[in-house]
């Protein structure tokens, strides 16, 4: 089991461009979570998805940010018209079931987005 795979590991975008971050959950995991980590801060919840469904996007800015987890393929976090404040590490986690049901969330290596 390769674990949670995120790509790219590092992404540089100019202001105004789009950033697409990909996350392939662990095999057998159907729950995906995206977190953002600013320098020297903890991880902040952004969005929770199951296959083809957004369950909770309360932590995600309403503008410019979107997420999907299609039936086939990885989960995608998309940031349109990036600004310098979007620079952060974005982590994806996956779990077999709801983490509140005696299961744990496994994190990917993260994508470090730098907006120049």
Partner 1 sequence: GENVEQHPSTLSVQEGDSAVIKCTYSDSASNYFPWYKQELGKRPQLIIDIRSNVGEKKDQRIAVTLNKTAKHFSLHITETQPEDSAVYFCAASTRGDYKLSFGAGTTVTVRA
Q: Is 78 in the site for partner 1 (CB under 8 A)?
A: no
85 near 68, Cβ under 8 Å?
Answer: no
Sketch the per residue contact string, 7 through 46, with partner 1: x for CB under 8 A, - otherwise: ------------------------x-x-x----xxxxxx-
Phi, psi of 114 (to 5 degrees): -120, 125
Measure the CA–CA gap between 46 and 64, rounded to whole angstroms.
Answer: 13
Residues forming contacts to partner 1 in the complex (CB under 8 A) are 4, 31, 33, 35, 40-45, 48, 55-56, 59, 91, 98-100, 102, 104-110
């Amino acid at each position: 089991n390769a674990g949670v795979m995120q790509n790219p590991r590092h992404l540089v975008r100019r202001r105004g461009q789009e950033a697409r971050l990909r996350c392939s959950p662990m095999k057998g995991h159907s729950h995906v979570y995206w977190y953002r980590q600013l320098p020297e801060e903890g991880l902040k919840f952004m969005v929770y998805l199951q296959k083809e469904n957004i369950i909770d996007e309360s932590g995600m800015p309403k503008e410019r940010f979107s997420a999907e987890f299609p039936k086939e393929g990885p989960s995608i976090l998309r940031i349109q018209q990036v600004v310098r404040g979007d620079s952060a590490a974005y982590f994806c986690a996956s779990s077999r079931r709801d983490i509140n049901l005696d299961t744990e969330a496994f994190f990917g290596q993260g994508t470090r987005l730098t907006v120049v």
